[in-house]
């Protein structure tokens, strides 16, 4: 009994010793300050209590009253929009190495509205010096994968509805060259085709021929599956149209065809998704255009995309009844010319702009038809920058919002006034947590850092250690950096329009 009590007492003493050691050596974490723009402190060091920092542990006992300290006053000027990460990513088998992936259409592809719903998407994946296009399922949470396998030989035959071989039909398995052009096959005199392609899931087997309707279906290409495909094409037609209106640069227009609410069997197999890859049908300088390889029957709507025309479904067509070119009346807005540039002043090619009325939001629709996501922006005006970053836009009303996006850059949503800019800058997206990395003001001494972001966070740092505080968002900030020796100010730096799309290193005035 006595031996048991002694062992129990020893266990208690060991526990007390461990707890005391932990309390003496553990790093204190500065709590978040209250207020609309919280700052998170990382890589702690000793913490001290300041305005809005109650509970941070109180001032360090060994910090001298006349010690060095730096006060950083932070004022947010503009919030930037972080790039939306792809929800469906291509991975290469067998090791599932992630590949550069861009979203083309479907769930999660809309750059103007984040979409967290489950669904299906179309992606373009860089591999082998070119690209492959794949369809895949998108889960409600997290990142989904579409698997790209090794090269396998596929073959097949294309026939019409009477079983006759179609010579010269085109067959496409989602392969693109380095310039984004489709690498399709052509059938021989027996309607046959054969080629080596990248295997995997969601391969878009697509076929078309003169006088026939295009058709597609997603297939799986693997060692264990049948890789000899039979394709049947039905008779088809082309649809001609004439745009009508007092137009500026009408040749900038393109026409997207979309199914109406009622969709028949033939239209259900039509590859609407190709419009998200290669764009809609081109329009010439007279306003004329055509869409080939359509089914003979079905109800369609036409959407005209032009920088000066509001995005909507502009015209309805019943394919079995439409014989003459259909006339599509349009209203063109006055123009405004804008240039999209980076921080060096160079133009950003391919940057996208969406001009939307002040109270109008863009909601992502997704959908199994994999239509171009720009169709979700009804009532808005869209434009794409040329190789020099220049674009034609509709002249906005005061209060309209200009949303700008470009791959590799921070997005900006600007509320416009009466005076319109000639150029807008997009900063490159650095990546990582937007934060301030404050360097020490003196070498070899403990120092104190104070950050004022709608509340004060104060903590002490060891000699030579940086102080790091997370910003409330990516964006543009004004900083005032004041260095003190005790209560005596020894230096002040004013940094206006600091761009934070990741960590920003800030050097204070030094103490000799």
In a domain, 21, yes or no: no
In a domain, 17, yes or no: no
Pick the last residue of a domain from 329, 354, 385: 329
Q: Tokens standing for 61? A: 């006992």
Is the domain of 262 the same as that of 375? no
The candidate with the shortest Cα–Cα distance to 394, out of 440, 334, 323, is 334
Domain extent at residue 439: 26-79+431-506
244-301 per-position pLDDT tens digit: 988 778 999 999 999 887 777 778 899 999 998 888 999 999 999 999 999 999 999 9
Is the domain of 370 the same as that of 443? no
Is the domain of 121 the same as that of 209? yes
Residue 136 phi, psi (nearest 5): -155, 165
CATH code: domain of residue 347: 2.60.130.10
End-to-end CA distance of the chain: 67
Q: Tokens standing for 210? A: 């003169």
Tell me the DSSP string of 347-401. B-TT-EEEEE-TT--------TT---GGGG-TT-EEEE--TTSEEEEEPPPTT-E
Is the domain of 180 the same as that of 109? yes
Region of 298 on the Ramachandran plot (φ > 0 left; ψ -120 to 50 alpha; else beta): left
In a domain, 20, yes or no: no
6-23 per-position pLDDT tens digit: 444 445 444 544 444 434
pLDDT of residue 379: 92
In a domain, 11, yes or no: no
Is the domain of 351 the same as that of 391? yes
Pick the last residue of a domain from 400, 425, 450: 425
In a domain, 476, yes or no: yes
Residue 94: cis peptide before it, omega within 30 degrees of 0: yes
Is the domain of 360 the same as that of 294? no
CATH code: domain of residue 242: 2.60.40
Is the domain of 456 the same as that of 489? yes
- Where do the H-state alpha helices sit in 176-313? 265-268, 274-278
Is the domain of 223 the same as that of 263? no
* CA dist list (Å): 404 to 304, 356, 425: 21, 11, 10
Is the domain of 445 the same as that of 459? yes
In a domain, 5, yes or no: no
Tell me the DSSP string of 139-183. -SSS-EEEEEEEEEEEEEEEEETTS-B-TT-EEE-SEE-TTS-B-
* CA dist list (Å): 123 to 110, 152, 158: 12, 21, 26
**Type and span of the H or E element at 138:** strand 130-138
In a domain, 44, yes or no: yes
pLDDT tens, residue order, the chain (512 aa): 444 444 444 454 445 444 444 343 333 333 334 333 333 333 333 333 333 333 333 345 577 888 999 999 999 999 999 998 899 999 999 999 999 999 999 988 988 888 888 999 999 999 999 999 999 999 988 899 999 999 999 999 999 999 999 999 999 999 999 999 999 999 999 999 999 999 999 999 999 999 999 999 999 999 988 899 999 999 999 999 999 988 778 999 999 999 887 777 778 899 999 998 888 999 999 999 999 999 999 999 999 999 999 999 889 999 988 888 899 999 999 999 999 999 999 999 999 999 999 877 787 776 667 888 898 899 999 999 999 999 999 999 989 999 999 999 999 999 999 899 999 999 999 999 999 999 999 999 999 999 998 778 898 999 999 999 999 999 999 999 999 999 999 999 999 999 999 999 999 999 98
Residue 441 phi, psi (nearest 5): -85, -10
Is the domain of 440 the same as that of 340? no
Alpha carbon distance 447, 441 (integer Å): 8
Number of domains in the chain: 4
Pick the last residue of a domain from 368, 402, 425: 425
Is the domain of 132 the same as that of 221? yes
Q: Cβ contacts of residue 12 below 8 Å, gap of 6+?
A: none
In a domain, 4, yes or no: no
The distance between the two most distant Cα atoms of the chain, rounded to a whole number of Å, is 107
Is the domain of 100 the same as that of 220? yes
């Amino acid at each position: 009994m006595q031996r048991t009590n002694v062992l129990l007492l020893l266990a208690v003493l060991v526990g007390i010793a461990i707890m005391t050691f932990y309390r003496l050596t553990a790093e204190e974490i500065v709590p978040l300050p209250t207020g609309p723009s919280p700052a998170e402190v990382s890589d702690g060091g000793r913490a001290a209590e300041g305005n809005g920092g109650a509970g941070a542990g109180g001032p360090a006992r060994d910090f001298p009253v006349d010690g060095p300290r730096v006060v950083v006053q932070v004022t947010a000027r503009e919030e930037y929009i972080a790039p939306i990460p792809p929800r469906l990513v291509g991975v290469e088998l067998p090791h599932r190495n992630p590949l550069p992936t861009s979203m083309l259409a479907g769930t999660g592809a809309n750059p103007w509205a984040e979409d967290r719903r489950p669904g299906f998407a179309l992606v373009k994946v860089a591999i082998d010096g070119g690209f492959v296009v794949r369809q895949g399922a998108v889960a409600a949470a997290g990142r989904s994968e579409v698997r790209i396998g090794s090269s396998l030989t596929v073959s097949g035959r294309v026939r019409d509805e009477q079983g006759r071989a179609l010579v010269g039909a085109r067959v496409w398995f989602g392969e693109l060259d380095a310039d984004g052009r489709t690498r399709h096959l052509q059938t021989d005199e027996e309607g046959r085709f054969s080629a080596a392609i990248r295997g995997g899931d969601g391969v878009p087997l697509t076929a078309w021929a003169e006088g026939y309707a295009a058709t597609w279906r997603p297939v799986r290409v693997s060692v264990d599956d049948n890789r000899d495909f039979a394709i049947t094409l039905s008779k088809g037609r082309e649809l001609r149209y004439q745009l009508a209106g007092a137009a500026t640069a009408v040749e900038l227009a393109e026409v997207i065809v979309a199914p109406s609410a009622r969709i028949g069997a033939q239209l259900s197999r039509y590859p609407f998704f190709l419009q998200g890859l290669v764009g809609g049908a081109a329009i010439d300088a007279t306003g004329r255009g055509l869409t080939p390889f359509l089914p003979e029957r079905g109800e369609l709507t036409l959407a005209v995309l032009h920088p000066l025309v509001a995005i909507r479904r502009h015209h309805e067509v019943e394919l079995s009844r439409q014989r003459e070119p259909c006339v599509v009346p349009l209203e063109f807005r006055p123009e405004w010319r804008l240039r999209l540039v980076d921080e060096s002043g160079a133009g950003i090619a391919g940057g996208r702009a969406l001009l939307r009325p002040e109270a109008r939001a863009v909601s992502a629709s997704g959908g199994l038809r994999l239509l171009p996501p720009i169709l979700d922006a009804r009532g808005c005006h869209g434009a794409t920058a040329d190789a020099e970053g220049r674009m034609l836009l509709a002249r906005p009303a005061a209060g309209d919002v200009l949303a700008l996006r470009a791959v590799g850059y921070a997005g900006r949503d600007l509320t416009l006034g009466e005076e319109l800019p000639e150029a807008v800058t997009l900063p490159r997206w650095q990546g990582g947590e937007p934060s301030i990395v404050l360097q020490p003001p003196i070498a070899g001494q403990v120092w104190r850092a104070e950050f004022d972001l709608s509340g004060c966070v104060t903590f002490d740092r060891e000699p030579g250690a940086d102080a790091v505080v997370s910003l409330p968002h990516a964006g543009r900030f004004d900083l005032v950096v004041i260095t003190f020796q005790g209560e005596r100010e020894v230096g002040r730096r004013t940094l206006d329009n600091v761009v934070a799309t990741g960590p920003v290193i800030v050097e204070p005035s030094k103490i000799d």
